Structure 1
Amino acid sequence: MDRSADFLDLYQHGFIRVAVAVPAIRVADPAWNAQQTTALMTQAAEAHAAVVVFPELGLSGYTCDDLFHQQALLEACQRALAEIVEASRELAIVAVVGVPWRVEQRLFNCAAIVQRGRVLGLVPKTYLPNYGEFYEARQFNPGTAASSTEVDIAGEAVPFGSGLIFECQDVPNLRFHVEICEDVWVPIPPSSYAALAGATLLLNLSASNITVGKADYRQRLVSLHSARCLAAYLYSSAGAGESTTDLAWDGQALICENGDLLAESDRFLRDSHLVTADVDLERLAHERMRQTSFGQSAALHGPQLSRFRTVPFSLQWVSCRRPLQRRIERFPYVPADPQKRDERCREVYNIQVQALVQRLSVAGQGKLVIGVSGGLDSTHALLVCAKALDLLGRPRSDILGVTMPGFATSTRTLDQALRLMEAVGCTQLQIDIRPSCQQMLKDIGHAHTAESPVYDVTFENVQAGERTSHLFRLANLHRGIVVGTGDLSELALGWCTYGVGDHMSHYNVNASVPKTLIKHLVRWVADSGQVGQPGSDVLHAIVDTEISPELVPGKDGQDQPGQSTESFIGPYELQDFHLFQLVRYGFPPSKIAFLAYTAWLGHDKYTLTDIKKHLRVFLQRFFANQFKRSCVPNSPKVGSGGSLSPRGDWRAPSDARATTWLADLDKVPDADPMGNIKSLKA
């Protein structure tokens, strides 16, 4: 079996490709419009889209006005639809086109759902605008006016009504609902109920003339509606060819998923155009399961949901081995855009500071005791402490910064710790922990001696324990609290010694901040000039320092850290990615590997083999170290990416096994399919 080929299949990972088309039309020329629609439908199918949506009344043109009551036009629209149905016979795609249709001697503004030579259903517009420039009630009836639930099209009984949900039998979670233009502008759109009834794709055929500011409003409307419904929303509006007697048209096409804009067309194009995007149906399904109020809302609106009927269909696709057509952020906790990144840093920093201010407001006036190593985590925690005291009107000397060099402390990090504390203006204390560590090693019968060193885990943890013991006793002495420094990434990987400083404190300001973000936070403080030039210089030096526990001496002296954390647990930039996808979205490891591979594709840094190796380490360590997370101190949650607090986002048994997740990871091929992806891109 070619697992490499399966790994490249979008559908294996819960994605579906969708398209929004805007044809250039001719008003009241259905034959011409059918040709344009068929060409775009074929183009969307060749792009491997499963669904393509066209504008409102696209076969006739939206601006026909009283021509809609002309028999010749309506019959021409029927013939145009028949042409599209025939053209769809050999295409593996569902096309949703706009057409006027007579039912019970009344005219309806409809969407025809076409697939593989048949019409799956006919959906009438529910709300007809009859204000401003719109006079639809002059020609059309609202969908609620019809009593029929079926219509005859070319001798076949076709489901009719606004309460139709089209469900794919061979693609999990692919269920779509169709509404038309004004339907999404009302207080409670029909698609809101459809989403509660299980529709994951919401399609809108729109005309929507353009006026100043309207395009931005449309985008916000569609984006927010997709977020509220935990769904994907496809929106197509009329473009070139519609009458400009009194109006203008921009042909805006939008694809949004749960509040994120996946694709948007250029506007005011003279030619037909198409946009495509890959929607993560699995993510949407997970969000609905996770957000239990979604289910509660569905239960509350049960009577409204009972009117929906399901129309089954099958795509009959074997696979879609294509590069993923959406941006996967390599750093999900850190925005790529510099301006947004600065905004994120400012927001996270303020959350941490506000949380510490509140804790200090009830903790008394004692000192804030913090271990300062000259590394990233303690640096950022110290910056948060300084800002918190500024807001409280207390002197920064109320911070007791303690640096505790040990057997492996480098001259670089010790110098950075001292310079940092000087720049911040806190009270400084330096304690050499080597004598107390030697005494502890001797007391417990450890074999380590200066002449015959033994660098095992006990040797390392004795140093960590001594540092923590000093911090807590200093807090007792000064009637203060110990401020913790350990971060989210370390908690996830269990890269913290149980019960010591990077795990235990009176209050930890960093516990929900991942390592990749802390780097940017420290750099942001430096670049924003909050600590003066000497302070900024040392902050930049700290960011550039190798991440190390500094517990075992290096072979080349003590100028630089002698250990590399990432050589033990893997690169933080990958492990933070794995953490986000696992905890935030509950994705299986095979999908996480696919997303990581896609995110790093073209950067020539990590192969699939590398990703699989580091993800295995992550899973093994994540499950094995849950017991450490079950007793962490209080700490503020800073982002939607989640925290690992047992009182918040993550509540898990300490003795669960990683077996199921590792078995899923084994689905990922050992051979790197890079060549296959490159050939597909070419």
Structure 2
Amino acid sequence: MTARHGPDSFHALHRHGFVRVAASTPHVRTADVSFNRDAVLIEARRAHEAQVDLLVYPELCLSSYALDDLHMQSALLDAVEDALDEVVAASSELSPVLLVGAPLRQDGKLYNCAVVVSRGRILGVVPKSYLPNYREYYEKRWFAHGRGVRDRTMHLGEQDVPFGSDLLFEASDLKGFVFHVEICEDYWSAIPPSSDAALAGATILTNLSASNITIGKSDERHMLCRSQSSRAMAAYAYSAAGPGESTTDLAWDGQGAIYELGDLMAESERFSLDPQLCLADIDTQRILNERMRTGTYADAAEARAPEFRRIAFEHQPHWQDAGLIRPIRRFPYVPNRRSHLDQDCYEAFNIQVEGLRRRFEATSGSRMVIGVSGGLDSTHALIVAAKVCDKLGLPRSRILGYTMPGFATGESTKSNAWKLMRALGIEAAEIDIRPAATQMLQDMNHPFAGGEPVYDVTFENVQAGLRTDYLFRLANQNGGFVIGTGDLSEMALGWCTYGVGDQMSHYAVNTGVPKTLIQYLVRWAIQTEQFEPETNGVLKAILETKISPELVPHGEEEELQSTEDQIGPYELHDFFLFHTMRYGLPPSKVAFLAWHAWRDAQAGSWPIDFPDATKREYELAQIAEWLEVFLKRFFGFSQFKRSALPNGPKVSAGGSLSPRGDWRAPSDATAEPWLDELRRSLPS
């Protein structure tokens, strides 16, 4: 592997398309411009030390917001312009782009403005478009609105600078760093100015606000930030004025929040007497990729995006290892919102239940047939089927469960299979496939039939294939259909035998659910008592069992055949799959994210109540090793199996691998472009 340095350094934040954004709530005093100027610069220097790229201050932060008719006083407005000159001069030694709020005069009018400052110069000035004039607000008394202010300039200090509501700011030396500015009420309007800006190409939307606080308003701000970042497919950084504003009749809480594609990245402490600086690294590549793959975005941009002036500037990125400040989910498919945990699990589980229920009703059969191994996947498929019977008011004996021990079946898993079937009250039976497998191997002149311990792929697949043959014929015999057990992780890796039960069935109820989510849903079913206490005890035992195909015999001193020893940890593969399939990220970036999520026990985040055993650590070399395995299997030689998948419900927004749904790919592609990108990018 070739080492890279400078702008191509693997650990450099900017190399992977991240922009560090911060929302600042500095100290403020009503009408004390010099104090406010100094407070703004203190926070600017703090942001510089934190290697921030874009710093968003509150609305009118130089003058303070709650001034009423003092806004119309020339002495104060002159002081603001002088203070702005000093902020601009000081910014020459600072790396962040500063978005500073100030009241500014132009053509006999006063505008509520955001001034964009970078490295000693003003890049542009954006006036507020929508002025509130209801309830406690009276802004039209003092300010002119900025709607329709386009293609204008303003003279500030020694500069003539772009002025208008038609400005986008784009870094010429950091791809994806394109931002737009709006002010407070703008994003309470029916169509915020930032909507058009996003359609014109802005990836980061910002809001300088002085919104006062009332009960429930914090939730409203979160809702607006979240919805705008989701609808506009962008990041949204919001900064509201804090304590220190006048309390004549109102109070301020200093709320700061940063969202990306509907996900909360960071928020500040509210009502704090200390200045707040909430930071998050925004993934502009993720934003651009999401727009690229969502045709509706392009259609909307073509239909209504007005012309914007793009103000180019040289940002001078540091290209250093600055860490990564953003929540990274170790288990991106697994619900982890504490407030919605039960609801999210309920939805995931019942999507499967509803899919299987509809298929069962639509067929002419009366029975569901399933092979029960005592392993995780068949267990989950079986409890979904049991819940279908409960929902339809049918006896669970409509389910025909078969355990089919082979040459390597362990007593523990077979025992668990029987316990589970009995606990659920299904019709259960056992078919020993060893005689039929031996006969088939003899017919093939396989060495095993002659007494040699040859455990090759033929030996394994004879067993897997026979199980499926029995299930399909049993379905014919009993007027039913076969429920598939293979999951999304196995489909991604091609870790399934073509034409057998983990790849082929009449309905593949698990193929939209990755292994990590199945583990969690089974745990959720136990915790929420979806089934009887006896069933829960068996489910706990199955969760503790090592994942194994149980196809190769092992001696008394040997460990059970382990799937993860052969192909790698499913927790990593599910991470790789999510970021590769859902967002199309390059392998080097997937490795970068995985390393930050898994490098130590405190890194990343995991769902509530996930067992401590999942809090493992992986070094970059381990991540790269298993990522290569994933890329070879996912892009290289597994698609032909996925192209023949039976129907099955999509469960996660992370996508499915159905050839009729989220993932359509040729069966004969090569993984080389992805492998080359990874190998070129990793440090030696």
Above 0.5 in TM-score? Answer: yes
8 A Cα contact 2:575 2:594, kept in partner: yes
What is residue 574 of structure 2 aligned with on the other side? 576
What is residue 539 of structure 2 aligned with on the other side? 539
What is residue 600 of structure 1 aligned with on the other side? 598
SS of the aligned residue for 1:449 comes to helix
Q: CA deviation at 1:561?
A: 7.0
Task: Note the alpha carbon deviations across 1:272-317, whole angstroms, 9 max, x for none.
Answer: 2211111111111111111110001111114xx12x1110001112
1:174 is matched with which residue: 177, 181, 195? 177
Q: CA deviation at 1:247?
A: 1.1
C-alpha distance in 2 between matches for 1:590 and 1:494: 22
Amino acid at match of 1:583: M
1:94 is matched with which residue: 94, 97, 112? 97
Q: CA deviation at 1:662?
A: 0.3
1:47 is matched with which residue: 46, 50, 53? 50
Amino acid at match of 1:46: E
SS of the aligned residue for 2:92 comes to coil
C-alpha distance in 2 between matches for 1:481 and 1:535: 24
C-alpha distance in 2 between matches for 1:485 and 1:561: 25
What is residue 11 of structure 1 aligned with on the other side? 14
1:121 is matched with which residue: 120, 124, 128? 124
C-alpha distance in 1 between matches for 2:174 and 2:566: 40
What is residue 256 of structure 2 aligned with on the other side? 253
What is residue 63 of structure 1 aligned with on the other side? 66
Task: Note the alpha carbon deviations across 1:118-151, whole angstroms, 9 max, x for none.
Answer: 1100110101111111111111100136576011
8 A Cα contact 1:548 1:563, kept in partner: yes
Amino acid at match of 1:29: D
C-alpha distance in 1 between matches for 2:682 and 2:145: 54
The answer on 1:591 being equivalent to 2:604 is no
Amino acid at match of 2:167: L
8 A Cα contact 2:243 2:252, kept in partner: yes
Amino acid at match of 1:250: D
| CA separation of 1:339 and 1:183: change in aligned 2, threshold 3 A | closer
- 5+ long unaligned stretches in structure 1: 672-682
TM-score by length of 1: 0.95
8 A Cα contact 2:150 2:164, kept in partner: no
What are the within-5 Å matches in structure 2 for residues 482-493 of structure 1? 482-493=482-493
The answer on 1:383 being equivalent to 2:396 is no
C-alpha distance in 1 between matches for 2:209 and 2:97: 18
8 A Cα contact 2:14 2:317, kept in partner: no
Amino acid at match of 2:657: L
Amino acid at match of 1:522: V
SS of the aligned residue for 1:328 comes to coil
C-alpha distance in 1 between matches for 2:291 and 2:339: 31
The answer on 1:330 being equivalent to 2:330 is yes
C-alpha distance in 2 between matches for 1:609 and 1:147: 53
Alpha-carbon RMSD: 1.6
What is residue 553 of structure 1 aligned with on the other side? 553
SS of the aligned residue for 2:161 comes to strand
Q: CA deviation at 1:669?
A: 3.3
Residues paired across the two proteins, number: 666
SS of the aligned residue for 1:33 comes to helix
| CA separation of 1:67 and 1:507: change in aligned 2, threshold 3 A | same
What is residue 513 of structure 1 aligned with on the other side? 513
1:282 is matched with which residue: 281, 285, 289? 285
Task: Note the alpha carbon deviations across 1:499-525, whole angstroms, 9 max, x for none.
Answer: 011100000110010111111222222
C-alpha distance in 2 between matches for 1:457 and 1:341: 41
Amino acid at match of 1:84: V
C-alpha distance in 1 between matches for 2:339 and 2:639: 36
8 A Cα contact 2:243 2:251, kept in partner: no
Amino acid at match of 1:38: L
8 A Cα contact 1:410 1:561, kept in partner: no
C-alpha distance in 2 between matches for 1:241 and 1:657: 61
What is residue 678 of structure 1 aligned with on the other side? none
8 A Cα contact 1:48 1:320, kept in partner: no
8 A Cα contact 1:174 1:201, kept in partner: yes
Q: CA deviation at 1:271?
A: 3.0
The answer on 1:621 being equivalent to 2:636 is no
8 A Cα contact 2:151 2:166, kept in partner: no
8 A Cα contact 1:286 1:586, kept in partner: yes
TM-score by length of 2: 0.95
What are the within-5 Å matches in structure 2 for residues 224-243 of structure 1? 224-243=227-246
SS of the aligned residue for 2:448 comes to coil
- 5+ long unaligned stretches in structure 2: 602-615
What is residue 367 of structure 1 aligned with on the other side? 367
What are the within-5 Å matches in structure 2 for residues 160-239 of structure 1? 160-239=163-242
| CA separation of 1:428 and 1:450: change in aligned 2, threshold 3 A | farther
SS of the aligned residue for 1:234 comes to strand
What is residue 456 of structure 2 aligned with on the other side? 456
8 A Cα contact 2:150 2:163, kept in partner: no
| CA separation of 1:337 and 1:61: change in aligned 2, threshold 3 A | closer
What is residue 678 of structure 2 aligned with on the other side? 665
Task: Note the alpha carbon deviations across 1:81-107, whole angstroms, 9 max, x for none.
Answer: 000000001112210101111111111
